[in-house]
């Protein structure tokens, strides 16, 4: 088995190779002055089982193109099988036609991937795993919430309340609570589909004097997690931490969250960032070893 490190996930790919005992073949990548991307696989992959590790975090469009080119190149030069490990699958949040005439973006991305002759697709905490049903190959949607919860537990947060900042994150909070043992809760978030503005349901939460950890799949602008933190602090939580699978951290997201008096933010290396402390490599290595 050979691991191909995509341009956005080099460190993660090296760790996956180390843990799985696979070898690495390097990739050269660049962007031409007009914005087109270029990739070249720098080793022999003919007749080999290939695992491409490449996340599609910002800049998503470039990263997706690189992913498509890497998969197609590996297949075209004779790989025996191709597994794509894409920890963060971009465009998964637009999984419905919320407004008339909108593109269902994730469906389009999956239709493209279905045409690229992939044997297996591995991703993490897709925004809504039902959108993955349109894949025509074998797909694994792994969860990193137990890993994040173990990290917090190892730092003395055993018994903390796992908290979802919206309905979509409840399952993640529930998974985390199984590790932490302190139960889980959630708030209801509504987003205005025209303006993108979010609002939270006002209700009393059972958080007085509790240590709480807000678990979400994605932190983009930080607005969701910052608001959830403000609500928990406002209702008397003793302390609030944040755990996130895909820390996109656009603009001043970290500042927005920290100013709400968060004690710590922990993300995974699904997306490289200043808070990407928990590595997905052990789960990926286990999965590709079969
Ligand atoms: C949306 O439902 C997701 O689960 C995240 O809560 C959302 O994408 C986070 O975005 P932001 O950080 O911009 O609030």
- Ligand 1 centroid vs 280 CA: distance in angstroms? 21
Instruction: Say yes or no: CB of residue 220 within 6 Å of ligand 1.
Output: yes
State the catalytic residue, choosing from 189, 238, 261, 289.
Answer: 189
Catalytic residue list contains 189 = yes
Q: 203 alpha carbon to ligand 1 midpoint, in Å?
A: 20
Supply 104's token pair. 């269902």
Instruction: Inform me whether the pLDDT recorded for 198 exceeds 90.
Output: no
Q: What is the mean pLDDT of residues 222-236?
A: 96
Question: Rounded to two decimals, what is the model's pTM?
Answer: 0.96
78 C-alpha to ligand 1 centroid (Å): 40
Contact 94 CB / ligand 1 (< 6 Å): no
Q: Place 209 in a pLDDT band, splitting at 50, 70 and 90.
A: very high
Closest CA to 94 of 112, 108, 113: 108
Mean pLDDT of the chain: 96
Tokens at residue 266, please? 């922990």
Give the Cα separation of 228 and 54 in Å (integer): 31
Contact 143, 129 (CB under 8 A): no
Query: Quick one: which of 22, 18, 113, 40 has its CA closest to 126?
Result: 113
Quote the ligand 1 centre to 191 CA distance (angstroms).
10
Mutate to test the pocket of ligand 1, among 88, 219, 247 (most ligand atoms within 8 A of CB): 219
Question: 222 CB under 6 A from ligand 1?
Answer: yes
- The strands making up 161-164's β-sheet, listed across from edge to edge, are 184-186, 161-164, 211-219, 239-247, 264-268, 276-278
pLDDT of residue 31: 96
**pLDDT over 90 at 33, yes or no:** yes
Report the nearest-CA residue for atom 5 of ligand 1: 218
pLDDT-above-90 percentage for the chain: 93
Q: What is the pLDDT of residue 42?
A: 97
Q: Residue with the nearest Cα to atom 10 of ligand 1?
A: 220
Minimal-distance CA residue to ligand 1 atom 8:
218
pLDDT in the model for residue 196: 84
pLDDT given for residue 200 in this prediction: 87
């Amino acid at each position: 088995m050979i691991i191909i490190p995509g341009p956005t996930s080099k460190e993660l790919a090296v760790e996956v190779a180390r843990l799985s005992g696979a070898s690495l073949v390097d990739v050269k990548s660049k962007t031409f002055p007009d914005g087109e991307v270029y990739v070249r696989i720098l080793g022999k992959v003919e007749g080999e089982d290939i695992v491409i590790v490449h996340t599609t975090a910002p800049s998503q469009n470039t990263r997706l193109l690189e992913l498509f080119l890497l998969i197609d190149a590996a297949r075209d030069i004779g790989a025996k099988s191709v597994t794509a490990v894409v920890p963060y699958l971009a465009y998964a949040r637009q999984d419905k036609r919320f407004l008339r005439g909108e593109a269902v973006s994730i469906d389009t991305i999956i239709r493209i991937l279905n045409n690229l002759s992939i044997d297996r697709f591995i991703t993490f905490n897709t925004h809504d795993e039902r959108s993955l049903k349109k894949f025509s190959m074998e797909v694994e949607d792994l969860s990193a919430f137990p890993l994040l919860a173990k990290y917090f537990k190892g730092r003395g947060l055993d018994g903390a309340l796992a908290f979802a900042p919206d309905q979509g994150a409840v399952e993640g909070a529930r998974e985390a609570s199984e590790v932490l043992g302190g139960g889980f809760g959630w708030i209801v978030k509504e987003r205005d589909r025209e303006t993108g503005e979010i609002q939270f349901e006002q209700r009393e939460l059972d958080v007085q004097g509790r240590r709480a950890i807000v678990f979400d799949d994605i932190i983009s602008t930080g607005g969701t997690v910052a608001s959830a933190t403000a609500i928990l602090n406002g209702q008397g939580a003793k302390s609030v931490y944040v755990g996130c699978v895909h820390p996109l951290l656009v603009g001043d997201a970290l500042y927005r969250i920290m100013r709400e008096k968060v004690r710590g933010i922990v993300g995974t290396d699904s997306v490289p960032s200043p808070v990407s402390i928990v590595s997905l490599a052990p789960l990926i290595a286990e999965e590709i070893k079969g």
